[in-house]
């Protein structure tokens, strides 16, 4: 059974977006994974098709109504797929979580808009809030595409070489080592000699040391996480 993503959104025309191209797009055409969009506005309760209202307690912006969103969620088949809400206050998306999702049947992804989503529907429909970073987007759609990009690329058969995904940043808790290719000399900069030595043990050691160096310089928090899993 292929991975099936159901995306609840006010802007279904944003999907599949870039995932309709390149390796992910070809995999989508082959049926290696599937995507369905649900227009949240179709479940509005009034003739104006309203989906939001002013925040209780006052304040700026609007809030996505729980009754409308609940109707949209309930229209999706009640299966074992996790229900995710793209939210800046969610748990950070990690490569480990990406692999968990990729090993399952798919996901139901809710794309929020406005100031947020009424907490009652988050609780009532057991939505798992997921964040892609410490910044604010105009809506959950770009975040959903990023999450799906990370998942789809590691599904079986999507990448040309399935081993490609095993030697990347975060797979072993470190940032990835530097890469080089021809020409041998570029603007007086040489490829490190060890990479052209043919000594695979020395190459593996160099890559590991470089990964540690870059992680120590740029993401020391990852080293702390490795020590305290």
What global pTM score does this model have?
A: 0.90
Q: Annotate 122-138 with three-state secondary structure.
A: HHHCCCEEEECCCCCCC
Burial class (CB in 10 A: 0-12, 13-18, 19+), 40: buried
Contacts by 96-100, CB closer than 8 A, 24 or more apart: 97/130, 98/147, 98/150, 98/151, 98/154, 99/154
Q: What is the pLDDT of residues 16-27, one digit of tens each?
A: 999 999 999 999
- Decide if 93 contacts 110 (C-beta within 8 A): no
What is the spatial distance between Cα 3 and Cα 20, in angstroms, rounded to a whole number?
15
Q: What is the pLDDT of residues 180-215, one digit of tens each?
A: 999 999 999 999 999 999 999 999 999 999 999 999
Q: In which band, very low, low, confident or very high, does the pLDDT at 31 lie, cut at 50, 70 and 90?
A: very high
Residue ranges and CATH numbers for the domains of the chain are 3-152 (3.40.1280.10), 167-227 (1.10.1270.20)
Q: What is the pLDDT of residues 90-102, one digit of tens each?
A: 999 999 999 999 9
């Amino acid at each position: 059974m292929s991975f099936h993503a159901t995306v609840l959104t006010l802007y279904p025309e944003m999907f599949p977006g870039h995932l309709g191209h390149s390796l992910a797009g070809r995999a989508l055409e082959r049926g290696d994974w599937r995507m369905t969009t649900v227009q949240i506005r179709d479940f509005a309760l009034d003739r104006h098709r309203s989906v939001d209202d002013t925040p209780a307690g006052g304040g700026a912006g609007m809030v996505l109504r729980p009754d409308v969103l609940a109707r949209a969620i309930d229209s999706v088949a009640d299966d074992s797929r996790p229900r995710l809400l793209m939210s800046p206050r969610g748990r950070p998306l990690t490569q480990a979580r990406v692999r968990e999702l990729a090993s399952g049947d798919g996901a139901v992804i809710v794309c929020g808009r406005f100031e947020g989503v009424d907490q009652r529907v988050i609780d009532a429909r057991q939505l798992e809030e997921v964040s892609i970073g410490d910044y604010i987007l105009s809506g959950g759609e770009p975040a959903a595409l990023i999450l799906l990009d990370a998942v789809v690329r590691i599904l079986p058969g999507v990448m040309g070489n399935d081993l490609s995904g095993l030697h990347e940043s975060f797979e072993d808790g470190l940032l990835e080592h530097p890469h080089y290719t021809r020409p041998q000399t570029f603007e007086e900069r040489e490829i490190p000699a060890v990479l052209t030595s043919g000594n695979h043990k020395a190459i593996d050691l160099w890559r590991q040391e470089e990964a540690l160096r870059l992680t120590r310089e740029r993401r020391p928090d990852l080293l702390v996480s490795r020590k305290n899993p």
